[in-house]
Structure 1
């Protein structure tokens, strides 16, 4: 995330112009590189100057851009796996720049989904652990082995696509097709992916894939589509994506207000200005479909703001205001239906 003086924490309670979050980073393992460089590309032609058509990086990017109007307008690429000097030439002259090193180095860059190219199961697991620790952004994995699925089960920030065909990139296609749409406006289930072959799974097999926290590409009612829209924990992707969107946009909106206003006074009037920034973001979240409506069609959210008299002397002295909080009800989406009918004779 970018530098900010504002921190937003959102807990998901059960049964209870803004920033988009669709840019992918392709992180490729390249042991022959001498350094890791983060670059952004607006087209396959520009990417091809550094990564030829036969490379895993190009194939991931091609699958992203192949999704047509839904695809993001750019992708980022960086590498890991090379050796680098540590400065201690006697005891430990060189060290490998690991997938974790790369994720730590670039985590604050302008991407929200990470795709891995030319990696092994160990790299995938390490990336999954990293994002689980951060509890922000996502890693999207293509996994061909049933046995490997189990090691990701329970992880909120890992999206696992089970697909056995080595020459297809369903993980990249998934991000290209869905991630760049307005957050909250779409569920990740039922989605068509260009360039991905649907698999003919038995019902029990597909259920086991879902129980492991993975999704697949199948045919239902004659339509090729994603079989679910969950992360490896079983949480819905759009729920966590929406949470990230609200968090980032509230932080950005309040940071902008602090940076562009001559002075926001430490008064009830100043606090009201900050509160209005939250309300603006939540209203857009409602419009996008993140926040549910009530029976009258009004957004179900609330914002609480403490007054100056409720702040501690220490906070007033240090100019820290911690009196804002909010909650909202998720809109969700229909993923299954049970319908009862009667036949009258």
Structure 2
């Protein structure tokens, strides 16, 4: 775990009705000691992984997208070794490295579920997995993951999960919904409305043609929450943590009084305002961001907190901007 002195817990209260956080990591089987390496283009990947390997195919799908990331990472594991023998062991080993979306290149279903279980337990980064059968979808749906995207795409040779992350993952967090998006190199599947509804009921998304446009059919994680919500939640968490950590580093001393508390509160407000600008936080009818920040005064803090130099008095809430995914429009034609 990286060294840090700030922990932010965010609870989404929904009414009824790192930094960029877009870098992909590919977990790939490869003989030899486990390594993790960054790649800025597909020719660089080819030096370590042949074109017929799944790792290369995943990377190719990422770099083929219009809004591709500046770089990706690939971490390896070897089932015949005595160290890192599986995809889940690799993601555990490299979890705190610089990446946000994880993909599996060679994993079987059991190992995919193990990766999903681990990612879910951490409640921060996101796993995008490709499923090819209804049974595979059902296995993920049974666990109602909040941090797993299930992309159902049975077409052989197409890495839809990698294309999805490559196209959408590195765009400004909060600025997009993951529905309606076109992916380069991915063929829409041929399904009727009932079949697509079943895919969505199973917690998966697909790539389809609607009104003549090729597009992602939904923008949700397995649990049904929206991807941009989960991505935005992680963005706010990491940026508040980073902002306050930077305040500690840039000041000789932050006193336990109104000056120090105001300084910490300002870091939270700065992040929330940027989240509003990005499209994560909603605005009211007057165009103001809908959020609140509460900071307990020194007097409201306990003597034990002051003596241990731990301030527990900052809290915040906000309303999600959300997105419109469907529209029902009524009208009439008059003679």
Q: Report TM bin, short chain.
A: over 0.9
Match of 1:58 in 2: 56
Give the drift of 1:50.
Answer: 0.8
Q: Please report how far the alpha carbon of residue 207 of structure 1 lies from its aligned counterpart in structure 2 after TM superposition.
A: 0.1
Q: Deviations over 1:63-108 (max 9, x none)?
A: 001002x1000000001243444xxxxxxxxx76232221111111
C-alpha distance after superposition, 1:106-127 (max 9, x if no partner): 1111111001002211111111
Whether the aligned pair in 2 keeps the contact of 1:34 and 1:82 (CA below 8 Å) is no
Quote the residue 1:246 is aligned against.
Answer: 236
Deviating 4+ runs (over 6 angstroms): none
Match of 2:118 in 1: 130
Match of 1:309, SS state, is coil
2:160 aligned with 1:167, yes or no? no
State the shift of 1:318 in Å.
Answer: 1.1
Aligned residue number for residue 101 of structure 1: 89
Q: Which residue of 1 aligns with 2:11?
A: 11
Give the alignment's TM-score, normalised by structure 1: 0.94
Task: For residues 4-63 of structure 1, give each alpha carbon's deviation from its aligned partner in whole angstroms, at most 9, with x where no partner exists.
Answer: 1100000111117x7111000000123xx2211011111111111111211111110110
Structure 1 unmatched ranges of 5 or more? 86-94
* CA distance, structure 1, for counterparts of residue 36 and residue 59 of structure 2: 15
Residue 269 of structure 1 is matched in structure 2 by: 259
TM-score, length-scaled by structure 2: 0.96
Are 1:80 and 2:77 an aligned pair?
yes
Deviation at residue 340 of structure 1 after TM alignment = 0.9
Q: CA RMSD in A?
A: 1.3
Q: How many residues align?
A: 332
Query: What is the aligned partner in structure 2 of residue 88 from structure 1?
Result: none
Quote the Cα distance in structure 1 between the aligned partners of 2:107 and 2:309: 47
**Structure 2 segments unaligned to the other structure (5+ residues):** none
1:183-217 Cα offsets, whole Å, 9 max, x none, are 00000000000000011101100000001110000
